Every structure is written in structure tokens, then in C-alpha cells.
Amino acid sequence: MTMDQWIRRTEVPLGGAAALFLAAYAWPIIDPDLDRGIVNVCTVVTWVVWVVFVVDYAVRVWLADDRWHYVAHHLLDLLVIALPLLRPLRLLRLVALLRIMNRSAAGSLRGRVAIYVTGGALLLVFVAALAVLDAERGHPGANIDDIGDALWWAITTVTTVGYGDQFPVTDLGRMVAGGLMLSGIALIGTITAMLASYLVEAVEEERESVSEIFQLRDEISALRHDIATLVPATRPDN
């Protein structure tokens, strides 16, 4: 089996595993009063998903033509499996969902970028809210105590508004905030570039349409001239 065959066969299952991980990770955080048995099940699910990603990564390294080169150029995949104890970084596994959306996107570059930006922005806000709530809840002086506060904080942070009514007080929470700030800057830059590309393409299409209309008008004018010069020459004498 080749690398491409393995990726095609496992991409959808890995995307489903990532979505299952998100549900298992988020449920106990959103509902802190969840039954202990359900919490334990969610914990087991997150570890099972981690094992699945470890197996997938090991197989891809094994199938690679140059294994060290593959490892060096897929560091994000390595982080997904090498940092299971840092809870916020476990959310890197959700990159698999973006890969699924990218394959189902429109064939144009702009279509793929739109899928990445939309899906990435929604995932980014939600997982950042989960991560900061997980880090902040229960700590002295914390002001992010529920998912509503966390989502509000994530939205104002990623959009660079930053009202300051909610903010992290723990070191881990501030690390999440720093990552979200950098991601927000990158996200706004991507959206701006995408809109600029759309406007330039729209103007270019409009210009081409106007050019085609003028060209058609010139062709009709030339045709009328040819007809006008042809008709007197073929008219019978009186």
C-alpha cells in the first residue's frame, strides 16, 4: 500500500475520530456537574482517539520513502501525538476535520480558502473557548467560569476587539490567549486577502464582459457595412 492510498482510506475515519474527540473533550468542560461515570467514558474516548492517531502517524512514517524527511516536514502531526498531556494541545487533532472539508471544497483555490477560513474560524473560537475554560475554571480570581463567558472571550479576542471584561489569569490560560491572538491576526489577514482576491476577480470578469460587448458591437457594425456594400452590387437594373 502506498502513502496516498493509506491517506485516502483513513482520512474520513480520522475526521470522524477527531469529531468524536471534540465531543468527548468538550462535554465534561461545558457541564462540570456531569456524572463521574460519563466523565470517565469521555476520558477513555479521548485516549482511544489518541491511540488511533498514533497508529496512523506510525503507518505514514513507515510508508514514507524518506522517513526522516517525512518526520521533519510533518511536525504538526508529531505534536498531535507527542503532547497528549497538555490538554489544550490535544485539540490539534481537529486539523483532520479541516482536511476533510478541504477535500470536499470547490475545486478553485478561493473555494478551498473559504472552507479553511470558515471552518477554521469556527473551530478556532470553539476550541479556544474550551481550552481557556478548562484552564481557568476554579482558580482564584478567575472571571471565565462558564462556556458563555469563554465563547465571548474567544470571539472578542480572535477579532482583536478585546473588551477586557473577561481575561485569563492562569499561565496556561494566557498561553491559550497568546495562541488565539496570533491566530486571530492570521485569520483577519486571510479574510482580507480572500476579499481582495474576490473583488479583483469580479472587476476583471466585469472588464472582460464589457470588452466582449464592445467586440461584438464592432463585429455587428462590420457585418452591417459588408451587407450594405453587397446589396447595391447584386441589385438588378431597372
Domain ranges of the chain: 1-98, 105-209
User: pLDDT tens digits for 58-71?
Assistant: 898 899 888 888 88
**Long-range pairs for 25-31: beta carbons < 8 A, 24 or more residues apart:** 25/87, 25/90, 25/91, 25/130, 26/126, 26/130, 29/130, 29/133, 29/134, 29/137, 29/147, 30/130, 30/147
Contacts of 49 (CB under 8 A, 6+ apart): 17, 18, 20, 21, 24, 93
**Lowest-pLDDT range, 2-16, 24-38, 92-106, 150-164?**
92-106
Place of cell 482517539: 49
Q: What is the largest CA-CA distance in the chain?
A: 110
Amino acid at site 184: G
Count CB-CB contacts under 10 A for residue 93.
Answer: 25
- Contact by Cβ (8 Å): 43, 61: no
Residue 231's pLDDT is what? 64
Mean pLDDT in residue range 214-229: 78
Give the residue among 97, 155, 106 at the shortest CA–CA distance from 128: 155
Residue 87's pLDDT is what? 47
Residue 151's pLDDT is what? 93
8-state DSSP, 84: T
Instruction: Say which residue, 200 or 30, is predicted with more confidence.
Output: 30
**Lowest-pLDDT range, 85-99, 109-123, 184-198?**
85-99
Residue 42 has pLDDT above 70, yes or no: yes
Contacts of 59 (CB under 8 A, 6+ apart): 6
Give the model's confidence band at 116: pLDDT under 50 very low, under 70 low, under 90 confident, else very high.
low
**pLDDT averaged over every residue in the chain:** 78
CATH of domain 105-209: 1.10.287.70
For the chain, give the percent of residues with pLDDT over 70.
79
The three grid cell numbers given for residue 50, joined into one nine-digit string: 489518541
Give the residue among 118, 101, 94 at the shortest CA–CA distance from 190: 118
Most confident region among 9-18, 43-52, 109-118 by mean pLDDT: 43-52
- Contact by Cβ (8 Å): 20, 45: yes
Residue 106 has pLDDT above 70, yes or no: no
Residue 39's pLDDT is what? 92
Residue 226's pLDDT is what? 72
